[in-house]
Homo-oligomer: A and B are copies of this chain.
Amino acid sequence: MNNLGNTKKDNATENIALDEKDIAILQLLEEDAKMTIRDLAAKLNLSATPVYERIRKMEQAGVIRQYAAIVDPSKIDKALTVLCYISLKEHGKKAGAKFIKEITSFPEVMECLNISGQFDFMLKVQVKDMLAYHEFNVNKLGELDNIRHMESVFVMSVIKATHRVVY
Contact = CB atoms under 8 A, between A and B. Distances in A.
A164 interface: yes
A78 B66 CA distance: 17
Contacts of A76: 18, 23, 26, 63, 165-166
* Main SS at interface, chain A: mixed
Contacts of A7: 157
Contacts of A126: 165
B69 A26 contact: yes
Interface string A64-97: 1111111111111010010100000000000000
Most chain B beta-carbon neighbours within 10 Å: one of A65, A76, A104: A76
Contact of A33 (B69, B109, B164): B69
Given A62-B75, A165-B73, A157 B5 contact: yes
Max chain B C-beta neighbours (<10 A), residue from A110, A116, A156: A156
Contact of A112 (B64, B67, B70, B159): B159
Size band of the interface chain A makes with B: 35 or more
This protein's copies in its complex: 2
Contacts of A67: 32-34, 67-70
A114 B155 contact: yes
Most buried by B among A6, A12, A34, A103: A34
Interface of A: 3-7, 10, 12, 15, 18, 23, 26, 29-34, 61-76, 78, 81, 83, 100, 103-104, 107-117, 121-122, 126, 153-167
Given A64-B72, A68-B70, 11 more contacts: A6-B158, A7-B157, A63-B72, A63-B75, A63-B76, A64-B71, A67-B67, A70-B163, A104-B159, A110-B163, A111-B160
